[in-house]
Amino acid sequence: MINGMNIGIIMFLVGLFGMMTNKNIIKIIMSLTVAENGVLVFFISLGYVIGGQSPIITGDVTNPVDPLPQAMMITMIVINLCLTALALTIAAWIYHKYHTLNVEDIIDDRL
């Protein structure tokens, strides 16, 4: 069945698969973002009601959608922004230290 929740879960799994198979740090971060957005789609469609309206501004809405998941997702978007920014910063830093972005090559065997 094609609906938002299933698409969200599939996006999450695609992202997870990307994180398992990609060796490049930037690609891993991109996969993480895909997975995060999958969860976001999942949550947004969780509160969706067919033909529903948003219960803000006017106040007298007969068929409202559930606003709670959307409120939660705004928080999640902010958190994900932080995470992605931090991950990219660390990636840049890693590149300066090791001159590679391949997770297999970043080996430091000093004690």
Partner 1 sequence: MIDYEPVLIVITPVIAASIISFLLPFLKTEKLQEIPKYIALTALALPLFYLIYLAPQISSSALEYRMGGWTAPYAINLVIDSFSYIFLLTASLITTLAFVFSMRDEKKSKGKFSFFFLLMVAGIYGVFLSGDLFNIYVFFELCVITSYILVTLGDQTRSLKAAFTYLILGSIASLFFLIGIGLLYLNTGALNIAHLSSLVSRLDTTVQIVVFIFLFGAVAVKAAIPPFHTWLVDAHSTAPSSVSAVLSGITVKIGLYIFLRVFSLGFGLQGITNLLLVLGVCAALGGVLFAIFEYDIKRLLAYHTISQMGFIVVGLGTFTAIGVAGGIYHIVNHAVFKGLLFLCAGSIIYRTGTKDIRKHGIGTTMPITLLTYLIAAFAISGITPFSGSVSKSMIEASISNYRLVGFLLTVTCIGTVTTFSKILYYSFIKTLKKDGVKQRFQEVPFGMQLSMTILAFFCIVLGVLPHLWLDTVIVPATSSITGGYSQISPQFFEPLGIVKEWILVGLGILFLLVVIKQRENVDKIRRKIKELHLNLKIVLMMGALTVIFLFFRVLH
Q: What does the binding site for partner 1 look like in residue numbers (CB under 8 A)? A: 5, 9, 12, 16, 19-23, 25, 28, 32, 35-36, 39, 42-43, 46, 68-69, 72, 75-76, 79, 82-83, 86-87, 90-91, 93-94, 97, 103-104, 106-111
The CA distances from residue 14 to 2, 60, 69, 102, 108, in Å, are 16, 40, 22, 20, 31
Nearer to partner 1, 25 or 65 (CB): 25
Distances (CA, A) of 83 to 5, 8, 31, 78, 88: 23, 20, 13, 9, 9
Nearest-angstrom CA–CA distance, 38 and 13: 8
**Smallest separation, CB 57 to partner 1 (Å):** 20
Q: How far is the CB of 59 from partner 1 (least distance, A)?
A: 17
Least spacing, CB of residue 65 vs partner 1, in Å: 14
